[in-house]
Amino acid sequence: MKTLRIIASFSALLLVSACDGAEPVSDSAGYEQEVLEWRAGRLERLLAPTGYLNQVALYWLEPGTYAFGSGEDNDLVFPPNSPARIGVFDVGDEGIVMRVNEGVEVLHGTERVTEIAMASDVDENSVMVSLGSLAWSVIDREGKLAVRVRDYDHPFVKEFGPLPYYDIDSSYRIEALLKRYDEPRIANVGTVIEGLGYHPMSPGVVAFELGGTTYELEAYASGDKLFFVFGDETNRGETYGAGRFLYAEQPGPDGKTVLDFNKAYSPPCAFNDFSTCPVASPRNRLPVRLTAGEKYEPRLHFSGHQGG
């Protein structure tokens, strides 16, 4: 009888453990290697030419004409490693046209340009132009246009790293259940840019259990993934204050997915002032410390040059 009670107690303990959020990680060494490889890929993407670290300026534009270059008399003062006057941007109802001053060699691909319509990043034929180590393009955020400048020789990129993380903890790999809305709805989320919103489509909220308490996060549709912008109690000093990002697989017919907070990471605005990231909404700020994933360190943030 005593043996039967021990077996029953052990079975009950296994049941409780299995229901306490996470899918069991049968190979802890393999899981740790998976997270380490994810971290390496994360750093590689940040350091890439298309990453966020080489962004050095962002200029929001209203309709009008703007002279730009490194000279202080320009409407848009570009970084100092550019000519005193590069040209002008004409901003109108159809977008932005750039006109380049004579003698300044601005390239679109390998072709020198004197005038070009700067199709924005929401256009399938978006335009990026370059001059020396600098490159710039137009971004469109809900109809608001801005010129974003990159520097491929940016010293910040060469000196960047390593990224800080909490220790890998498989208990933060948690099974979650998507509770779908009757109909998908448009979420209303703020961004780090005053007056600019982020309005993704949301299929519903995911519910998950941590430490015996059930929490919910609103999910945003992102291709074949679920995307989350969330905050927690670590934002007060250990992780980025505006919140962190996380992706999860779309659930199957049973509505189940996995939230792996070991793969939570800082948004682009944690690294410079020239990004337009969403911030965690009040409904996605959790009253708990999630000590997993990427941390924040001020030394890894570049404010640098930003003209008017």
Q: Which CATH number fits domain 55-153: 3.30.420.40, 3.40.50.450, 2.70.180.20, 2.60.200.20?
A: 2.60.200.20
Q: What are phi and psi for residue 216, nearest 5 degrees?
A: -135, 145
Q: Whole-model pTM?
A: 0.88
The DSSP bridge partners found for residue 89 are 66, 98
Token pair in block for residue 80:
């100092």
For the chain, the structural domain boundaries read: 26-49+161-300, 55-153
- Which one-letter amino acid corresponds to residue 87? G
Region 243-250 average pLDDT: 98
- With a pLDDT cut of 90, the percent of the chain lying above it is 88
Residue 217 has pLDDT above 80, yes or no: yes
pLDDT tens string 249-272: 999 999 999 999 999 999 999 999
Dihedral angle at the C-alpha atoms of 100, 101, 104, 108, nearest 10 degrees?
A: 10
Answer yes or no: are the C-beta atoms of 226 and 247 closer than 8 Å: yes
The DSSP bridge partners found for residue 226 are 221, 248
pLDDT tens string 144-162: 999 999 999 999 999 999 9
Work out the mean pLDDT of the chain and round it to a whole number: 91
CB-hemisphere CA count at 13 Å for 239?
25
pLDDT tens string 46-82: 999 999 999 999 999 999 999 999 999 999 999 999 9
Q: What pLDDT band is residue 287 in, cutting at 50, 70 and 90?
A: very high
**DSSP letter string, 106-168:** EEETTEEESEEE---TTSTT--EEEETTEEEEEEEETTEEEEEEEETT-HHHHH--PPPBPPP
Give the lowest-confidence range in 19-33, 180-194, 243-257, 294-308.
19-33
What is the per-residue pLDDT for 140?
Answer: 97
Residue 291 to residue 252: CA distance in whole angstroms? 28
